[in-house]
Chain A
């Protein structure tokens, strides 16, 4: 893009708005950091400046890691998120590709049905689902959530991918067909590679949504060793009406910073993939 040079223009277009978004987005995290490092006595003290930690302590982190099952919950959360995302992406592709690029009888109906699936909210589904999960003997297992999370992720991935699939020009596909490729080959060798940014996008969201999910985990996962971070933290870092704020905030940070760091690598990938895919003849 041809832009006007000059640092003032750049500041206005980039640094100022970026600064604004960073500030508003990350301010709560500053609070979380500060709270996780403050000893309790300081936390409740209204007379001192709340944004500074006078006697930082790592006690909350240590307690979180040694006295609770936080590491187990983190492992569970990651495992569930990875598997659910994988299932959802694969199933999402299997649904999205035909809906985006094929014409066949019943396409509209299926598209509507998939959309309808997504409209069904979790607080409505969880009782019948609890029944099914229990009858399959899966309660208190990670399988229960691995099976139920894709129900909210697949329609989402499918729809997102339909959008990305649609942007691949027909000419590429037709060229491949003329060259004798089967539909499968066209899909696998021509269209899908161009949509990798879409997969990364969908994957990031599916992963994040899995990590964040609370209601099903609350219902299905009751034993501490199978809990995920959101449920474990709320169940065990809150006793009665007393919140263990320091540990809760430590859990929030430990549960999100590493993931964000990981994402930073994918973001690079996805930009590279995009520029490769967007230049058309």
Chain B
């Protein structure tokens, strides 16, 4: 059931203000922006780790757009982990917001409730250097762009340079086997590893899927139907994970959610983990001594290559928004170079742009340790790769099928049983039980 966004009542002052704005706009502004009757657009986002990024939108971008067009932009922040609930409610009830942020493969999940924004996306790609291919994995549904990609929240290795040096590693290990070797030595010295194996949202996916892929393991073939999880490659990945967990990590990791590794890092319990840029950022602000010895690196290589997880942030417009044109105009403006580049910069590269035009942007020089996050973009994939994006994938992620397979194996279940259970679950989800 669609419901129109409540129109704000116009006070005389606002009327004058908007008329003045309209007059000014007609004279000064680029001709592409049409002046509409006073109303507002709501964009929902997840509360960003970087306060400055949200603040930049609220204090600079939104007022600028309002000044330009008279349309008030409401920037609504959902708490971490609750954005999807919000988007689901809006998609279902057709009420609540006009534009939204997406993670992972949501453009596919909510495909029917999102407007086709191919024209905007293609224009932006052309204007700003071309899109990284992985971004299209997540945003192009049946040939149409249902979202304009924004940036990646990369999940990479964080490592303690001082402790690694003590056990003979000047650079971050290249392969998983080398990392295992380093971990065994470090654990013996009282500096274990801490990789999330619990039911979090990001720090578990960040290493488990790449581990699986780098050993050649896949859940489902690119045809989207053939379930191939039960393979030698998967078994090798699982066996490695068990060794890795038992010989290098804290026991607690099995139950860790996203916050635990940050906590463990800052209390100097662990020497290596997989995380977004949040650990380094907080360390720099509150724990400069720890920040000095924290570095970031790409995931290690396995026999079949090096991989990373794609967490594609993108923006979409709900079909239930009352004024499609106004919403499109806003999205176009937002993703236009001046606004987009400034918004990227405000996040201190926490969101890695999907546009090649930013590969050499000056913002990377502010913190060179974040550059690996940019380099990882080329090998990033959505959980469920190489199968094409589907609803079944979302269910697999929601049920933690792959994560639990590894977690169960690490806590003692035999590799055969862990893989069998996961395969059974996959069959059920893909409708082949």
Contact = CB atoms under 8 A, between A and B. Distances in A.
Given A44-B287, A137-B3, A239-B51, A131 B92 contact: yes
B80 A241 contact: yes
Given A130-B92, A134-B96, A222-B78, A242 B286 contact: no
A41 B267 contact: no
7 contacts: A44-B267, A44-B287, A131-B93, A239-B50, A241-B202, A241-B203, A241-B276
A234 interface: yes
A134 B275 contact: no
Contact of A242 (B92, B200, B282): B282
Interface range for A: 20 to 34
B80 A135 contact: no
Contact of B286 (A41, A234, A238): A41
Contacts of A223: 76
B85 A135 contact: no
B269 interface: yes
Nearest to A131: B93
B403 to A, nearest CB: 16
A214 to B, nearest CB: 11
Contacts, number: 93
B6 interface: yes
Interface range for B: 35 or more
B169 interface: no
B284 to A, nearest CB: 13
A241 B266 contact: no
A203 to B, nearest CB: 30
Interface in B46-60: 47-51
Given A44-B268, A223-B76, A239-B47, 17 more contacts: A44-B263, A44-B266, A46-B267, A127-B92, A130-B89, A130-B93, A134-B96, A137-B3, A137-B6, A219-B85, A219-B89, A239-B49, A239-B50, A239-B51, A239-B80, A241-B49, A241-B275
Given A135-B1, A219-B89, A242 B49 contact: yes
Contacts of B202: 241
Interface string A120-156: 0000000100110011010100000000000000000
B79 A241 contact: no
A137 B94 CA distance: 12
**What 8 pairs across the A-B complex have the smallest Cβ distances?**
A240-B49, A235-B79, A241-B258, A44-B267, A44-B266, A134-B93, A134-B95, A239-B49
Contacts of B3: 134-135, 137
A54 to B, nearest CB: 16
A174 interface: no
A240 B86 CA distance: 17
Contacts of B258: 241
Nearest to B263: A44
B62 to A, nearest CB: 15
A236 B263 contact: no
A40 interface: yes
Interface of B: 1, 3, 6, 44, 47-51, 76-80, 82, 85-86, 89, 92-93, 95-96, 200, 202-203, 258-259, 261-263, 266-269, 275-276, 278, 282, 286-287
B203 A239 contact: no
A243 B77 CA distance: 16
A218 interface: yes
A64 to B, nearest CB: 15
A46 B85 contact: no
Contacts of A134: 1, 3, 89, 93, 95-96
Contact of B77 (A131, A137, A218, A235): A235
B269 A46 contact: yes
Nearest to A139: B96
Interface string A11-54: 00000000000000000000000000000110011100000000
B426 to A, nearest CB: 25
A22 B147 CA distance: 55
B34 to A, nearest CB: 28
A139 B5 CA distance: 12
Given A41-B287, A241-B275, A218 B82 contact: yes
A222 B286 CA distance: 30
Contact of B1 (A45, A131, A139, A242): A131
A176 to B, nearest CB: 51
Contacts of A249: none
A241 B268 contact: no
A127 to B, nearest CB: 7
Among B86, B89, B200, the most chain A Cβ lie within 10 Å of the Cβ of: B89
B352 to A, nearest CB: 15
Contacts of B48: 239-240
A231 interface: yes
Contact of B278 (A40, A45, A224, A240): A240
A236 B45 CA distance: 13
Contacts of B276: 240-241
B288 to A, nearest CB: 10
A61 to B, nearest CB: 18
A134 B6 CA distance: 12
Interface string A219-236: 100111000000100111
Contacts of A218: 79, 82, 85
B59 to A, nearest CB: 15
B96 A241 contact: no
Interface string A176-220: 000000000000000000000000000000000000000000110
